[in-house]
Amino acid sequence: MQTVTLNNGVQMPILGFGVYQIPPEQTEQAVTEALAAGYRLLDTAAAYGNEEAVGRAIKASGLPREELFVTTKLWIQDAGEDNTRRAFERSLQRLDLDHVDLYLIHQPFGDYYSEWRAMQELHREGLSRAIGVANFHPDRLVDLIEHNEVTPAVDQIETHPFFQRTADQELMRERGVQLQSWGGFAEGRNNLFADPVLSQIGAAHGRSVAQVVLRWLVQRDVVAIPKSVRAERMAENIDVFDFRLTDDEMARIAAMDTGTSAFFDHRDPAMVSRLGTVRVD
């Protein structure tokens, strides 16, 4: 598995398995099959409600802990240094682990400064090998970097062929932050899986549209976490390291960028208010 090196020297697989929107009752089996397929990066969150199932699959796998890279995330309601630590400890307990590899602030809302102070302590104590953020636009990311001790290792943001985030990635490179994609397939929006450009490129390599998208992300040095509950699709998604897109193919995909989200804008006041009212048990 190809890896990226985070700003603190930690190695992170460039391709992993995400469990967003997988129901808890299906998650253990899905993660078990993903691990069997070769995935070693697992991405969950307190807000997903399936950390316990991820933990059970990890334990049942028998894989050495050092072979795995486990990410989870802190939800908005747990602002404050004490609340953040308690939320982290609950996540560790649900995962049945003694540490995680990456802990992220899930949303750029609320008192994320107090959350970051607590996360810096968790990092210093070795409870999280790296810490980072999710859904932070460049202005908030730079603000966080310039007024705190630890620069986020990762910013996990919506990134796919219709919303490519190239300027954001360049800023992150300058600041030492790794771009990680969520929604790499745009959840099939804009008819992604039948897109003629992606389909033509896939046909040229004997590959699926999904494999083309993941290969495009890998070649951009973007960490991806595709999700599936089908073992054959998991195997297909991880099989992207034995071909390469040409410069022309990369340029054709670059031309697909609309510059706008396929889902929602994290700077939309109505969405900020809506997310801020969501509570996680």
Catalytic residues: 48
List alpha helices for 133-261, DSSP H.
Answer: 138-146, 166-175, 196-205, 209-219, 231-238, 247-254
Report helix, strand or coil for 73: strand
Candidates 246, 240, 253; CA nearest to 2 is 240
Please state whether 263 falls in left (phi above 0), alpha (psi between -120 and 50) or beta: alpha
Determine contact, residues 226/210, Cβ cutoff 8 Å.
Answer: yes
Residues 6+ apart with CB under 8 A from 246: none
Candidates 258, 182, 194; CA nearest to 224 is 182
CA distances from 228 to 7, 68, 249 (A): 30, 19, 26
What is the maximal distance between C-alpha atoms in the chain? 54
Cα-Cα-Cα-Cα dihedral of 17, 23, 26, 31, to 10°? 20
